[in-house]
Chains A and B, each alone.
Chain A
């Protein structure tokens, strides 16, 4: 619901009357599963500016900082926080927690009625 709310708000702010696509960046440490998002997206969009739009999810990897190599490294698996270069364990996450509304594709047109008052308690997705 937070995605719908955010995208609707941004579309309105930019004078868009119709949202064609929503681009999302998703990190493995966000706690959100891509398939679950895609499954519920269409249903959640009904009756909003986003109805009929496409959800484009870009999955981003977990990047950690290795203190031994003094550089950022991309993890192969979130089950092992170990530098793929030197093997040192590192807890320092640089990126990978994203659940980010990256961009929206909008066009102008006639205004559509929508209810932006989605309860925050229901903002589970």
Chain B
């Protein structure tokens, strides 16, 4: 016997479970005085190359850094990043096209977070799905390379809108591909007004100093805030 259907209001975020985990992660990171940066981009925009340089340079500057790297199938990225001589862990997602807060949480088990200053999380190369999942990060960095075209932000407005800073990569190729920098800036500002934009070439090192001092200042602020709060 079935009765008449009735309407029940739920009003619940579908990704509530992820958001709850992400909130817990954020509190844990804050408690450990750890600044967390996630990197998102399309496949091949240069996340791993830039991250390898970033980890090496920050380590040389005396920062205690580590990285989690998401990939569908291989451990190649972790192998590349391990050349920077910092702790690196691979998250293989199988068929899943993004990282979620649960995957990040499970990957942190063996690390003593209070012994780190900054953790980088390299998401799976994808400009769609990662935008929905909060990973508990302090800063979401979106990368676009000059070879992808100036209108990339207009094609993927959601990921650019949910990011905190944009990094234009492979600037050494800008001239060869006739990259229109003002047009790219306009695209970014159109979907995320006021977003800070950095330009780098991980290959030649151009722009890396400015990029690293931006990161250093963010880490410094977070350490300062962390040391003020009770243990």
B2: contacting residue among A32, A109, A120, CB under 8 A: A109
For the complex, give the distance between the alpha carbons of A3 and B132 in Å: 14
Q: In the complex, which residues of chain B have a beta carbon less than 8 angstroms from the beta carbon of A100?
A: 11-14
Contacts of B14 in A (CB 8 A): 2-3, 6, 24, 99-101
Contacts of A40 in B (CB 8 A): none
By size class, the interface of chain B is 35 or more
Contact A81 B10 (CB under 8 A): no
**Interface residue ranges, A against B (CB under 8 Å):** 2-3, 6-7, 10-11, 14, 16-18, 20-21, 24, 28-32, 78-82, 89-91, 93, 97-109, 120-124
Given contacts A100-B11, A102-B10, contact A79 B157 (CB under 8 A): yes
- Report how far A122 CA is from B7 CA in the complex, Å: 28
Point out the residues of chain B lying under 8 angstroms from A109, CB to CB. 1-3
B100 within 8 A of A: yes
Contact of B191 among A3, A16, A81, A121 (CB under 8 A): A81
> In the bound complex, do residue A79 and residue B5 qualify as a contact, i.e. CB atoms below 8 Å apart?
no
CA distance A107 to B6 in the complex (A): 6
Q: Which residues of B contact A (CB under 8 A)?
A: 1-18, 93-94, 96-98, 100, 102-103, 128-132, 154, 157-159, 161-162, 189-195
Report which of A14, A79, A97 forms a contact with B8, defined as CB distance below 8 A.
Answer: A14
Contact A106 B6 (CB under 8 A): yes
Complex CA–CA separation, A98 to B162 (angstroms): 13
DSSP majority for the A interface?
mixed
Of A10, A30, A107, which one neighbours B5 at CB under 8 angstroms? A107
How distant is the Cα of A91 from the Cα of B193 in the complex, in angstroms? 5
Q: How far is the CA of A97 from the CA of B15 in the complex (A)?
A: 11
Whether B5 contacts A120 by the Cβ 8 Å rule is no
Give min CB distance, B131 to chain A, whole Å. Answer: 4
Closest B-chain residue to A125, C-beta based? B14
Least CB distance, B206 to chain A, in whole angstroms: 28
Complex Cα spacing A91 to B191, Å = 8
Given contacts A81-B161, A122-B96, contact A104 B10 (CB under 8 A): yes
